[in-house]
Amino acid sequence: MALLTKAPKGTQDLLPKQSWQWQIVEDVLVREGESYGFAEIRTPVFEHTELFQRSVGETTDVVQKEMYTFEDKGKRSVTLRPEGTAGAVRAFLEHGLYNDGLPAKLYYLTSCYRYENTQKGRLREFHQFGAEVFGAADSSADAELIALASDMFECLGIRGLRLELNSIGCPKCRANYHAALKEYFAGHQEQLCGTCLERLARNPMRILDCKNPECAKLAADSPTIQEYLCNDCRDHFEHLKGYLDHAQISYTVNPRIVRGLDYYTRTVFEFISNDLGAQSTVCGGGRYDGLMKEMGGPDTPALGFAIGLERLMMILQAQEIAMPDRPACEIYIAAIGERAQKKAFALVRELRQAGVAAQFDICARSIKAQMKYADKIGAQCSMVLGDNELDTGRAVLKGMKSGKQCEIGINESFLHDYVHTYTNMLESPEFEEIEG
d(Cα 34, Cα 109) in Å, to the nearest integer? 13
pLDDT of residue 212: 85
Residue 58 amino acid letter: E
* Least confident residue range of 53-62, 178-187, 219-228, 394-403: 53-62
Q: What is the mean pLDDT of residues 286-295?
A: 94
Q: How far apart are CA 245 and CA 400, in angstroms?
A: 55
Strand pairing class (252-253; 162-167): parallel
Instruction: Please compute the mean of the pLDDT values over residues 14-22 and round it to a whole number.
Output: 93
Lowest mean pLDDT among 95-109, 390-404, 421-435: 421-435
pLDDT at 258 over 60: yes
Lowest mean pLDDT among 118-122, 200-204, 400-404, 405-409: 118-122
pLDDT for residue 197 is more than 60: yes
Contact 395, 413 (CB under 8 A): no
The DSSP annotation for 347-383 comes to HHHHHHHTT--EEE--S---HHHHHHHHHHTT-SEEE
% of the chain at pLDDT higher than 70: 97
How many residues belong to the chain?
436
Tell me what the mean pLDDT of segment 41-65 comes to.
Answer: 87
Q: Under a CB-based contact definition with an 8 Å cutoff, are residues 432 and 404 in contact? A: no
**pLDDT attached to residue 426:** 65
Residue 432 has pLDDT above 60, yes or no: no
**Res 259 pLDDT > 80:** no
pLDDT of residue 225 exceeding 70 = yes
Give the residue-averaged pLDDT of 132-144: 98
Instruction: Count helices and strands (H / E) in the chain.
Output: 15, 16
Domains of the chain: 16-170+230-318 (3.30.930.10), 331-427 (3.40.50.800)
Instruction: Say how far apart CA 423 and CA 436 lie, in whole Å.
Output: 22
What is the per-residue pLDDT for 434? 47
Residue 26 pLDDT exceeds 70: yes
Buried b (16+ CB within 10 A) or exposed e, 56-78: bbebbbbbeebbbbeeeeeeeeb
Query: Up-side HSE of residue 307: CA atoms within 13 Å toward CB?
Result: 27
Q: Is the peptide bond before 103 cis (omega within 30 degrees of 0)?
A: yes
Say what the pLDDT of residue 435 is: 41
Q: Which residue has the higher pLDDT, 107 or 208?
A: 107
Facing residues of 126 across strands? 112
Q: What is the 3-state secondary structure (H, E, C) of 400-428?
A: CCCCCEEEEECCCCHHHHHHHHHHHHHHC
The mean predicted confidence, pLDDT, of the chain is: 92
pTM: 0.89
- pLDDT tens-place string over residues 2-11: 889 999 999 9
pLDDT over threshold 70, residue 283: yes
Whether the predicted pLDDT of 260 surpasses 70: no
Per the rule left: phi > 0, alpha: psi between -120 and 50, beta: everything else, 393 is left
Q: State the angle between helix axes of 139-155 and 231-246 in degrees (0 to 180), rounded to the nearest 10.
A: 40
**pLDDT higher than 70, residue 341:** yes
Q: Which of 75-89, 276-290, 335-349 has the lowest mean pLDDT?
A: 276-290
Q: Is 7 helix (H, G, I), strand (E, B) or coil?
A: coil
Tell me, what's the pLDDT at 59? 67
Residue pair 14/26 in contact (Cβ under 8 Å)? The answer is no
- Confidence category of residue 252, pLDDT binned at 50, 70, 90: very high
Averaged over 287-303, what is the pLDDT?
94
Strand-pair partners of 109? 129
Q: Which positions ≥6 away from 131 have C-beta within 8 Å?
A: 33, 38, 105, 106, 107, 145, 148, 149, 285, 304, 305
Give mean pLDDT, residues 351-365. Answer: 96
Bridge partner list, 395:
408
pLDDT band at residue 436 using 50, 70 and 90 as cut-offs: very low
